[in-house]
Amino acid sequence: MTTTLPVSGAHFEPYEVVVGEGLTAGLGRRVAPFARGRTVIITDETVAGLHAPAVLASLQAAGVRARLLTIPPGENSKSFAELERVIDRLLAFGLDRRDLIIALGGGVVGDLAGLAAALYMRGIDLVQVPTTLLAQVDSSVGGKTAIDTPRGKNLVGAFHQPRLVVADIDLLATLPERQLRSGWAEVLKHGLICDAGFFDWLAGEGAVGAKGDPAALTRAVVRSIEIKSAIVGEDEKEAGRRALLNLGHTFGHAIEAELGFDEDALTHGEAVALGCALAFRFSAARGLCPLADADRVETVIAAAGLPTRLEHAGAFSADRLLARMAGDKKAEGGGLTLILARAIGDAFVDKAADRAAVAAFLRAEGAA
Ligand code: GLY
């Protein structure tokens, strides 16, 4: 079954996210209306080997002539140097404003190709074809694009909404198990933010999605995108409600940063899972949320094979984590912004979290 989800907001062109199994064969037909001139597929070397032949064949069958531009896999490609190289190749290919970029890959490809599309000739059309669970449920939808700098991740970017997103569940079959579990963390996050019923399903019958069951994955991706697109539609530029999508990210990002963003040590999704468990336990410790909910969050995250305790990721200093959290780009005016919860499915933004309480909590959690 194929599901088409609309994404619309007051300040951007509406677009569709198509989710289902076996979508790659018909990708060309869906992309053709946006391919008025030349088309360049930006992908990485790993994804190119797995999926480029089928994507190119589908585009060709629909009369879309495309060429490949590959980048090295991994977060290091989200750099000024790689952005410059990509833009230089687009110029060498002679792309103009009517042309199209297709981002075929995970979050790194989507973020870099998206930023290149935002900047090239002041913006050209972009189609996202996410190939990881994390990219399907999060980074391909909503228009955030970015590269990293030595001072931090995602610090240079632009909002550039795609014209179309095609999430083919079949492409997840080639994902390593750890990558699938990492994407599952973002799925759980969506339930935790605003849909307790969805979280119940993910904890029970739907849990097989974390192990690759295609039907469960399809339902999990569809519901995640419904939740995300509703939030993005209300608040594209993260002036308010969109910050909820950062549940688990302020704790998680600080932990990732302390580990030098070493994906072998802790993937982004694992950091988000651990961050969600911490956010719920901190909420419970502050008397904002029932302890039973925080315990259940921990049980469900652990059952998916994801970390829930600081000690699962390493040894940390509370002061260093707090400094990282306060330096997070979501912090405003020196305050500490945290996404906390009143219950499973009821997250809220706290723009003035008590730093001393956070430091004490981190120590109670085992940080030095
Ligand atoms: N990944 C969070 C957002 O798109 O806002």
Residues 209 and 264 in one domain: yes
Residues 244 and 318 in one domain: yes
Distance CA 298, CA 368 (A): 22
Residues 333 and 186 in one domain: yes
Question: What are the pLDDT digits (tens) for 123-151?
Answer: 999 999 999 999 999 999 999 999 999 88
Using pLDDT thresholds of 50, 70 and 90, give the confidence band for residue 152: confident
CA dihedral for 83, 89, 91, 97, sign (positive or negative)? negative
Of 154, 120, 152, 149, nearest to 139 by C-alpha is 154
Residues 160 and 295 in one domain: no
Quickly tell me which residue has 């307790």 as its tokens: 196
Using pLDDT thresholds of 50, 70 and 90, give the confidence band for residue 54: very high
Residues 89 and 38 in one domain: yes
Residues 166 and 292 in one domain: no
Residue 298 Cα to ligand 1 midpoint, Å, equals 23
Distance CA 115, CA 77 (A): 12
User: What is the value of pTM for the model shown?
Assistant: 0.95
Is there an atom of ligand 1 within 6 Å of 245 CB? yes
Question: What are the pLDDT digits (tens) for 157-176?
Answer: 999 999 999 999 999 999 99
Torsion of CA 68, 72, 75, 76, to 10 degrees: -120
Residue 37 Cα to ligand 1 midpoint, Å, equals 31
Ligand 1 atom nearest to CA at 231? 5
Is there an atom of ligand 1 within 6 Å of 138 CB? yes
Residues 154 and 199 in one domain: no
Is there an atom of ligand 1 within 6 Å of 142 CB? yes
Of 323, 322, 331, 243, nearest to 282 by C-alpha is 322
Give the domain-ending residue among 174, 195, 222.
174
Residues 95 and 135 in one domain: yes
Residues 326 and 255 in one domain: yes
Question: What are the pLDDT digits (tens) for 91-126?
Answer: 999 999 999 999 999 999 999 999 999 999 999 999
Residues 188 and 319 in one domain: yes
Give the domain-ending residue among 174, 197, 226.
174
Residues 42 and 149 in one domain: yes
Distance CA 244, CA 341 (A): 10
Catalytic-labelled residue, pool 30, 249, 281, 324: 249
Domain of residue 86, CATH code = 3.40.50.1970
Residue 126: count other Cβ atoms within 10 Å of its Cβ: 29
DSSP 219-240: HHHHHHHHHHHHHHHH-TT-SS
Domain of residue 269, CATH code = 1.20.1090.10
Residues 339 and 198 in one domain: yes
Q: Is 228 known to be catalytic? A: yes
Per the structure, the complete domain to which residue 206 belongs is given by 177-364
Count: domains in the chain: 2
Give the domain-ending residue among 133, 152, 174.
174
